Structure 1
Amino acid sequence: MYQVRHASRSTFVPIRQLDYHVREWGDPVGGQPPLVLVHGWMDVSASWQFMVDALDTQRHIVAPDWRGFGLTQHKPPSPDSYWFPDYLADLDCLLDQVAGDQPVDLVGHSMGGNVAMMYGGVRPERIRRLINLEGFGLPATRPAQAPERYSKWIDQIKALQRGEVDLKSYDSANGVARRLMKTNPRLPADKAAWLAQHWAAPDAQGRWVILGEPAHKIISAHLYQLDEALAIYGRISAPVLSITASDDSLGQWWKGQYNLTQYQDRLRAVPRLQQAVVQDAGHMMHHDQPNELARLIEDFLAQPD
C-alpha cells in the first residue's frame, strides 16, 4: 500500500444545502493564500494525495469533493442531473469560508480545470494564480444541435429513473484497484490500492461502489457555448499556467471533433498565459508524474506578482 507522506484531515462544510466534504493539508499561514485543488469528473479529492506528497513548500491546501462525488453526497432524493454553474457557486461559497477576501492559488484538473478557468473569469479578483491541468472544455456547438440535445437529455433522465443508468460495482477493493490500473496503465499497484479505498466504498451487500452519483452520467441539457467561454477567459486577470500531458488525451476522446490545436487557439483569449507539458504522462498526470507536476506548480506559484 502507498505510504502517505503528508496526511490530510477531513472536514464537512455547509455549502448550499450540502455538507461538503473538504480535505485539508497543513494549516493557514498569515499572509499566504491557500492552495485550492479541484478534481475532475468521476474523481475525488484524495486523488491529489500523490502530488501533495511531492510538494516541497508547506502550504495550507484545501481540496473539496465536488457535489455528488466522494463524500459530498445528497440526501435522498438525489438529483437526476447536474448543472455546471453549480460548481462555480459551490467554489465561491467554499472560498468564502476558507479564504475570506484573500485571493487564492487555484489548481483544477479536467472538469475541475474547466471550472477553474470559468471561475477565474467570473470572479477574477478571487484568484492570485490559476493552474489548469487539461481542462480542455468541449467541442464547439451550433444552435441547430439544441433540439436533439434537449431530447437526448430527457431520454437519459427517464432511463435513470428506470434504473438503467448506474455506476459499476466491484467485488472488492482489489477489483477497484485493478479497474484504476486498467484505465491508467501508468498507475502503480501500491497507489491504485490506496486510491481505491477513497474512490469507492462497500455498500450494504459488500459490493464496492464508486463514490459518485449516477446522474453525473446524464448529458448536459445545454450546449457548450464557445463564444461565452472565450469571453470569460478574456476576463481572467490572474497569471494562468496551462499544463498538458505528453499523451494526447483530447485526440483519443474526440476522434477529430476537437483537437489540441483548437485548444491552443482558445487559450489565446487568456491575457496572461504560460504553458508547459509533462512528459511520459497521460490525462491523470498528477498520478503519473506527481514530482514533475509539483515542481512546475511550485515554480509558477513562486514567480513574483
Structure 2
Amino acid sequence: MDILLKEILEINSVSSDESRMASFLLDLILKRRSSWKVSPQIYSGEEFHDNILLVFGNPKTAAFAHMDTVGFSVRYENQLVPIGGPEIGDGAWLQGTDLVGPIRCKAHEKDGNVFHDFPRGIQRGTMLSFEQQIKADNEFIEAAYLDNRLGMYAMIRLCETLTDGIIVFSTYEEHGGGSMPFLTRFIFENWGIRQALVADVTWITEGVHFNKGAVISMRDSFIPRKKFLDSILELAEASGVPYQLEVEAYGGSDGREIQMSPYPVDWCFIGVAEENPHTPQEKASLKDVEDLIKLYQYLMRNL
C-alpha cells in the first residue's frame, strides 16, 4: 500500500472540521508540484474555507474529490449526534480530543439513539470519528474513511501527469454539502468549465463487484445528462481501462449540487466500489483504485 494513502487515512477530517486535512494537502502539494508534469495554480485560504483548487494549464474539465468523513457530535447525557450517516453495527471505537484531553470510547445504540461509554463527560460539540485500523494486503484494503480517501488519493496521483484541468478538494459532502455552489460558480466564471467528474466511493452490489475496474455511475438519486454520459462511455471504451457500470435509485455525491446549481455544467460520478460503507471496516480493491487513476488520466486528457 502506498504510504501516501496510509497518511491521508490517518488524518481526522469530519464534515465541518477539514482544516487539518487541508493543511496536510497544501503542504504535500507545495512539496511535490515541482516534480509534476505541470505545476498548478493553487487557490486556497480563508476565502475558500478549507477547499483547495488546483488549476493546470488550460482547463476544460474539473475533477472533484471531497475531503470530509462521517462522524459524531457530542450532545448531552453521553448522547452522540451523527454527522453524515455513520454505521456503528454492534458498536464501534471512536476517538477525539476535547479541552480536557484525548478520548477513546465505544459507541452503542439504545432506543434509536447513539451513546458513548467514556468514563467522564465529554465537552459538548466535540467531534468524534472512528478509530482507524488499516488492514491491507496485495489485493484489498480495509479501513475507516475509504470514502473518500480513495477519491482523494486518486486525484493526488492524477496531479502527477495532468497537463490541463482543474482538481478540486471539496468539503461538507457527507453532511448536506455546502461548498459546491461557490466552487462551481468560481470555476465556471473564471475558466468556463462546463464538464465535471466526481471521484468518490460507491457500493458493492449485485451488479458491481471487486476487481472489475472503476465504476461509472449512469445514475444514482440524480441522473447525469445522457449526451455527456455517452461521451464518457465512448472514451472509457477507447481507453482500454477496465470499468463497470452502475445504475442505482439511491445515494448521491457532489454531483447533486453541480446538477442543482444555476450553471450549465455536466457531471458524472466515476469512483471505486467498496463494502461496508460508513463503517470502520470499509473494504475496497487496490486494483480497482489503480484502474480509477488510469481512467481519470485518460478522460482528463481527452474530454
TM-score, normalised to structure 2, is: 0.34
Q: Which of the pair is proportionally richer in helix? A: 1
Q: Which of the pair is proportionally richer in strand? A: 2
TM-score, normalised to structure 1, is: 0.34
